[in-house]
């Protein structure tokens, strides 16, 4: 099935890596930037071979405009580029 539904729910997924020594600072920065927005933050259960943790932010419909604010807040703590992807809900 092709995308492009005019009323499709759009979600934003952002993933990146954080070095172990910066996890606490990055988490504080994320929480301060998120405030009360329903933005979820997930972490892979294990670090990568270099000891970096992969985090993923999930922005629900109507909250994707907050991504630049969160990106700026956590930028100094990142160990990789932020990868931003958009997905439409299929059902």
pTM listed for this prediction: 0.87
At 46-78, the pLDDT tens digits run: 999 999 999 999 999 999 999 999 999 999 999
Per-residue pLDDT of 6-56, as tens digits, reads: 577 889 999 999 999 999 999 999 999 999 899 999 999 999 999 999 999
| Distances from the Cα of 8 to the Cα of 16, 30, 57, 88, angstroms | 26, 28, 20, 6
In CATH, the number for domain 10-88 is 3.30.70.100
pLDDT score recorded for residue 5: 52
Cα atoms in the Cβ-side hemisphere of radius 13 Å centred on 88: 9
pLDDT given for residue 91 in this prediction: 74
């Amino acid at each position: 099935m092709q995308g492009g539904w005019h009323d499709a729910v759009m979600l934003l997924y952002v993933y990146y890596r954080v070095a172990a020594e910066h996890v606490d600072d990055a988490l504080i920065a994320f929480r301060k930037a998120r405030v009360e927005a329903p933005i979820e933050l997930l972490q892979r259960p294990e670090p990568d071979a270099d000891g970096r943790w992969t985090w993923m932010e999930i922005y629900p419909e109507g909250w994707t405009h907050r991504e630049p604010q969160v990106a700026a807040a956590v930028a100094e703590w990142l160990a990789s580029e932020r990868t931003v992807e958009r997905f439409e809900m299929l059902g």
